[in-house]
Structure 1
Amino acid sequence: MDNIVGTKSRLVWVVNLSALALVLLWLFPTFGLLVSSFRDRDQITASGWWKAMFPAEQTLQYRAPGAGDAVDENGVFVISGNVFEGGRGSVKSFGTSARDPGAFPAGETVPADDGADLTVLQNGDFRLTSATEFEGRRGMRIFVTSVTPPRFTFENYGRVLGAEGLGRAFLNTMTVSIPATVIPILVAAFAAYALAWMEFPGRALLVAGVVGLLVVPLQLALIPLLKLHNEIGLGKSYLGIWLAHTGFGLPLAVYLLRNYMVGLPREIIESARVDGATDFQIFLKIILPLSFPALASFAIFQFLWTWNDLLVALVFLGNTQDQLVMTGQLKELMGSRGGDWEILATSAFVTIAVPLVVFFAMQKYLVRGLLAGSVK
């Protein structure tokens, strides 16, 4: 009964459910990264992103001011402050030892070190009192178990795009990715038209060579190509990395565009030639407009590859702040700020934001371009 016209095979439902599962598996981490990029370090440490809209319970450690900040109030020396340091929260309990951070309820006065008394209120205000002067430059540690309301901030993006250097790396990545996407498309479009519609000796061998280059790993050419760049004076520069990305992306570009152009109606091209159009006019006015899906399909692949690239950028560009791309800058942040999860989450989302915009803007052309030439 599955083959009756108008009915759907069970396999169709399996395919649809599998596609939905893949979409959810991709969407949840991306949305979680977006939510985490607006949270501070304490919230990320206390709870997962799926609890961002709910109050979070966490244990905080606060170092009280030292003896030099004590105030004499009628013979009683007082050190006061707020354990939240200007933030918001509600103290459930507190303690003076890491072994038992919730030993006392909020609002209770308990004995502390050296005969002093400690009181921590629910709003985070604390008061350390002593009949004698405090000794020691460092203040005592106060541990509190608090309930922090949900909050979101744009400070992470300000730090990342400013002080953390990712703003400069963003511009460097755009400088690399846009030319490295446009140049191979221009070169491959001319080559694909020649291989598809122009008769000349050795055309089949060239097509076979292009297909063969698709399986060659780019790592084999990194060192020889870098030596060539140094010998001809390119060195580590933007021009060098543009040419490197162009060379590595050309086989796929020529293959996709040639398959698409071969499937275009021959009658249109023959009619144009009868009317006296040259190959360049046919290519410019007929082939290019009709090949836009294939061009957009390759542009997505090439832009995503160059945007997320780290290996080619490290080899052909440089490690200075004026040349470091976003993937390299993110690697530096992970090395020096491994505990700053809010910075890493924000940096990672800034890194993937532009590819997401490009993909969703051009995704309708992706399947059409990839299926080009598969059927007649």
Structure 2
Amino acid sequence: MDNIAGQKTGLAWATHISVLLLVLIWLIPTVGLLISSFRDRDQISASGWWEAPFAVELTARGRTSAEAVPEGGGFVITGNIFDDEEAASYFGASPGAVVAFGTRGAAPTEFEAGTVADLGDGESLSINPDGTYRWVTPEEPGSRGQRVYFAANSPPKFTLDNYRTVLAADNMDRAFINTLTVTIPATVIPILVAAFAAYALAWMEFPGRGLLIAAVVGLLVVPLQLALVPMLNFHNAIGVGQSFVGIWFAHTAFGMPLAVYLLRNYMIGLPRDIIECAKVDGATDFQVFTRIVLPLSFPALAAFAIFQFLWTWNDLLVAKVFLPSSDEAKVMTVKIADDLLGSRGGDWGILATAAFVSIAVPLVVFFTMQRFLVRGLLAGSVK
């Protein structure tokens, strides 16, 4: 009874759970980037994305007021530390509760909030959790208040400022157009060339075909980094240099081995009777290719188009090598890396936002053509 056809085995549940766990593992980094793209920069630096719904303790600094009131032979200055422009910049319109304070950058949380700190020479300072302070000094403070460092619990803060920064960057629209200018030809050209080569390697008999197939397979494992400098020197020698034509040739060369290998495996799995009947009826190889093989190979063509489009759209290394460094020729990845992240150091909010902005078009392409992906990848695996 345990082997009845159609009955699920006990391993089916284990398979489902394993797949679910793998999906969750892949989704966790993406969810983290999505949440971080809406968080404030200071909160990202202070806590992980999984702590986004909770208050974050931030260390800030500010300066008290200098408007003193004489009292008992000294001067008293009162106010709220969150009214200081510098201190307010850390919290925006939602100031948090002060936890501790200090007057030295080396010890910003030296005193607990609500206590009176003895600063020496008859001078004292106290800051309450709501930010109100009382500074007592025996001498008139002059035009500058007391420098104060403090730690405060800041409520969760989500903002669209990161997206405004990325989308409103200078020449970002130009970088988007440049990315399309690079990606579309760099996807179409290798498909056109590889389709002819794959048909020849699959259905045409000629000397050295086996060696060519072995060479294509061998090129799949060659790191593209080894070919960057020789190819750039070759481009400079023939006059294309650092240009859009040069990067089209580069992406075509780097994508050709996978394209030929994938399409050849698919085409060789097509029914032989169809090809032979067409040739018996007088069709030439070109007619067989364009009218029979090419339409039947659409799943494999779509599968490679997805890979090539994603690779060229998200590429940074090849674009840095084969495109000019001028702002008019920058693609989105170079624009983000040089102008946004380069000027802001480790700004994780900008990085996460830029990641989601840059993957918008690849996601549309992938979900539009993903039904052909598995069919194209599995083509030729069985007969």
**Shorter-normalised TM range:** 0.7 to 0.9
The one-letter code matched in structure 1 to 2:309 is F
Match of 1:368? 375
Residues 229 and 109 from structure 1, CA distance in 2 versus in 1: closer, same or farther, beyond 3 angstroms?
Answer: same
Match of 2:111? 103
Q: 1:174 aligns with which of 180, 202, 211?
A: 180
Q: 1:344 aligns with which of 333, 341, 351?
A: 351
Quick one: distance in 1 between partners of 2:301 and 2:22? 26
Q: Does 1:20 align with 2:20?
A: yes
- The 8 Å contact of residues 175 and 335 in structure 2, kept in 1 or not, is answered as yes
Cα deviations by residue, 1:67-117 (Å, 9 ceiling, x for unpaired): xx74477997667624434420331434234536273446x7777688677
Q: Does 1:154 align with 2:160?
A: yes
Quick one: distance in 2 between partners of 1:365 and 1:191? 21
- The 8 Å contact of residues 188 and 257 in structure 1, kept in 2 or not, is answered as yes
Quick one: distance in 1 between partners of 2:152 and 2:119? 18
**Percent of aligned positions that are identical:** 59
- The 8 Å contact of residues 79 and 129 in structure 1, kept in 2 or not, is answered as no
The one-letter code matched in structure 2 to 1:38 is F
Match of 1:223? 229
Match of 2:49? 49
Residues 124 and 195 from structure 1, CA distance in 2 versus in 1: closer, same or farther, beyond 3 angstroms?
Answer: same
- The 8 Å contact of residues 66 and 143 in structure 2, kept in 1 or not, is answered as no
Match of 1:239? 245
The one-letter code matched in structure 2 to 1:29 is P
The one-letter code matched in structure 1 to 2:303 is S
State the Cα distance separating 1:235 from its structure 2 match. 0.7
Aligned residues: 370
Quick one: distance in 2 between partners of 1:224 and 1:95? 60
Quick one: distance in 2 between partners of 1:349 and 1:10? 40
- The 8 Å contact of residues 76 and 132 in structure 1, kept in 2 or not, is answered as no
Quick one: distance in 2 between partners of 1:290 and 1:105? 74
Q: 1:84 aligns with which of 88, 108, 121?
A: 88
Quick one: distance in 2 between partners of 1:61 and 1:372? 60
The one-letter code matched in structure 1 to 2:45 is T
Quick one: distance in 1 between partners of 2:269 and 2:164? 50
State the Cα distance separating 1:289 from its structure 2 match. 2.6
Residues 327 and 138 from structure 1, CA distance in 2 versus in 1: closer, same or farther, beyond 3 angstroms?
Answer: farther
Q: Does 1:358 align with 2:362?
A: no
Match of 2:36? 36
Match of 1:194? 200
Map of 1:195-344 to 2, 5 A cutoff? Answer: 195-273=201-279, 277-332=283-338, 333-344=340-351
**TM-score, normalised with respect to structure 1:** 0.82
- The 8 Å contact of residues 294 and 369 in structure 1, kept in 2 or not, is answered as yes
5+ unaligned residues in a row in structure 1: which ranges?
A: none
The one-letter code matched in structure 2 to 1:247 is A
Match of 1:60? 59
- The 8 Å contact of residues 119 and 125 in structure 2, kept in 1 or not, is answered as yes
The one-letter code matched in structure 1 to 2:111 is A
State the Cα distance separating 1:210 from its structure 2 match. 2.2
Residues 210 and 3 from structure 1, CA distance in 2 versus in 1: closer, same or farther, beyond 3 angstroms?
Answer: farther
State the Cα distance separating 1:236 from its structure 2 match. 0.8
Residues 18 and 329 from structure 1, CA distance in 2 versus in 1: closer, same or farther, beyond 3 angstroms?
Answer: farther
Structure 2 SS opposite 1:144: strand
The one-letter code matched in structure 2 to 1:49 is W
Quick one: distance in 1 between partners of 2:145 and 2:326? 40
Quick one: distance in 2 between partners of 1:211 and 1:144? 60
- The 8 Å contact of residues 102 and 144 in structure 1, kept in 2 or not, is answered as no
Quick one: distance in 2 between partners of 1:322 and 1:125? 52
Quick one: distance in 2 between partners of 1:263 and 1:208? 18
The one-letter code matched in structure 2 to 1:84 is A
State the Cα distance separating 1:269 from its structure 2 match. 3.5
- The 8 Å contact of residues 95 and 104 in structure 1, kept in 2 or not, is answered as yes
5+ unaligned residues in a row in structure 2: which ranges?
A: none
Quick one: distance in 1 between partners of 2:276 and 2:134? 91
Structure 1 SS opposite 2:329: coil
- The 8 Å contact of residues 296 and 369 in structure 1, kept in 2 or not, is answered as yes
- The 8 Å contact of residues 113 and 126 in structure 2, kept in 1 or not, is answered as no
Residues 165 and 155 from structure 1, CA distance in 2 versus in 1: closer, same or farther, beyond 3 angstroms?
Answer: farther
**TM-score, normalised with respect to structure 2:** 0.81
Quick one: distance in 2 between partners of 1:119 and 1:110? 6
Deviates more, 1:237-246 or 1:150-159: 150-159
Structure 2 SS opposite 1:163: coil
